[in-house]
Structure 1
Amino acid sequence: MNRLFAVGVIAYLVIAPVSAFAIPCASDYSIYRKQLIAEKWTPVAVKNNIRGFTEVSTGSRIATAKWLNPDRTETFTFILWWKKMKLCISPQFSDSTE
């Protein structure tokens, strides 16, 4: 994920008023989580996690999920947010001019 986009999403979710347009929810995290496990990704347990998701650390509006890739060479942190009592994953955006 583009780091600039990630910073922008965090800033938007923290600063934007509730009435502002919402970033679309590409997938429910619980569905995406099953796909990661099926592809041999490993959830990395974090402190202050939420029940059922040991890799998710959450605040009142945004959350992160930490995963180790299948090659076990690096960890990835996904940005999530709450929408109608479920955790959302953002759609993929690109800043390239393809």
Structure 2
Amino acid sequence: MVKGLFQRVADEARPPAVLGRYPGMRDYFTEVLLDDLVESGAWLDLELKIPFLALWVNDEDFDFPDWNDPLIAIDQANVRKFAAIDPVVDLESLRGMKVYVIEPYMR
């Protein structure tokens, strides 16, 4: 079976992350993954880091977040923190990038 983007990010990050480690938070597994990557200061190859961050940057709510929602505020900060971890990614360069994700985990 081919691994999806999120599973590859979790597996190939250094240190690795555990995708879906909170089964009760299935709707927020990407947010938990991002937070884990930031908290551990994980290194991730650009081949995976760029599309992962592009998903966040190109989300329709990224530019106009609901700052009253604490999860959104954390996500906004984490996207910027993770982009700044080596190898550094310029978030603006990801604008308009199309990333298609089919995740077996999400089914």
TM range (shorter): 0.3 to 0.5
Question: What is the TM-score of this pair, normalised by structure 1?
Answer: 0.34
Query: Which protein is richer in strand relative to its size?
Result: 1
Structure possessing the higher relative contact order (Cα contacts under 8 Å, 6 or more residues apart): 2
Q: TM-score normalised to the size of structure 2?
A: 0.32
Between Structure 1 and Structure 2, which shows a larger proportion of helix residues?
A: 2
